[in-house]
Amino acid sequence: MRWLLVSGVVLSTVACDLLQSWEMKRHSGLRRQVFGRWPILLSVFFMAASFFCFLELLKREDLSFAVPATAASLVLETLLARVLLKEVVQPARWAGAILVAGGVVLLSK
């Protein structure tokens, strides 16, 4: 159950962040009708899902496990920012993502 909750936090956080970034880049910033756009509304849904999954994870696991394990979202976001959003990811950021991934792997032992 612990890794299911971690996955819920990670996937919903990634979806939220990608949707927000994509929509803000599409419209170059915040406008008055921000809540009328479906990507922003969907990102709010994913943000809430992430929050509630994280709360449930904290009920079952120590904070010292929950926070580092959910850092896997940084790795996935870096990869998807490159692939889906066509962002240029510098080598230092790739190195950071790889180090975070290594930390998540160490936590799983």
* pLDDT one-digit tens code per residue, 49-95: 999 999 999 999 999 888 888 888 999 999 999 999 999 999 999 99
Q: What is the pLDDT of residue 52?
A: 97
Question: What share of the chain in percent tops pLDDT 90?
Answer: 59
Of the pLDDT bands very low, low, confident and very high (cuts 50, 70, 90), residue 103 is confident
Q: Give the closest residue to 54 by CA, choosing from 15, 109, 10.
A: 10
User: What pTM was estimated for this model as a whole?
Assistant: 0.85
Q: Is the pLDDT of residue 27 over 90?
A: no
Of the pLDDT bands very low, low, confident and very high (cuts 50, 70, 90), residue 36 is low
| Four-CA torsion 69, 75, 81, 84, nearest 10 degrees | -90
Q: What is the pLDDT of residue 31?
A: 60
Q: What is the pLDDT of residue 77?
A: 94
Q: What is the pLDDT of residue 29?
A: 55
Domain that holds residue 82: 2-107
- Number of structural domains (the chain) is 1
